[in-house]
Amino acid sequence: MGNDKVIMLPHIGGNTQEALEGGERLARKALSDFLIYGKVRDSVNFPSARQLSIYLIE
């Protein structure tokens, strides 16, 4: 920044033990819902994933 009085640090709030465990729980639940029910949750980059799950389950 060009100012000796400013120290910039990266934001690592998502890298705490609690955040990592929470992400693990969400991923486990999403995978379980897909494998058991064919339900896709929180899909951002693949909105038609529900149609794909029907083919995979049959």
Task: Name the CA radius of gyration of the chain, rounded.
Answer: 19
Structure letter (DSSP) for residue 14: G
Burial class (CB in 10 A: 0-12, 13-18, 19+), 15: exposed
- In this prediction, residues 48-53 reach a mean pLDDT of 53
Domain ranges of the chain: 14-57
Average pLDDT over residues 8-16: 80
3-state DSSP assignment of residue 52: helix
Question: Which of 19 and 56 is assigned the larger pLDDT?
Answer: 19
Over residues 22-34, the mean pLDDT reads 90
Predicted TM-score (pTM) above 0.75: no
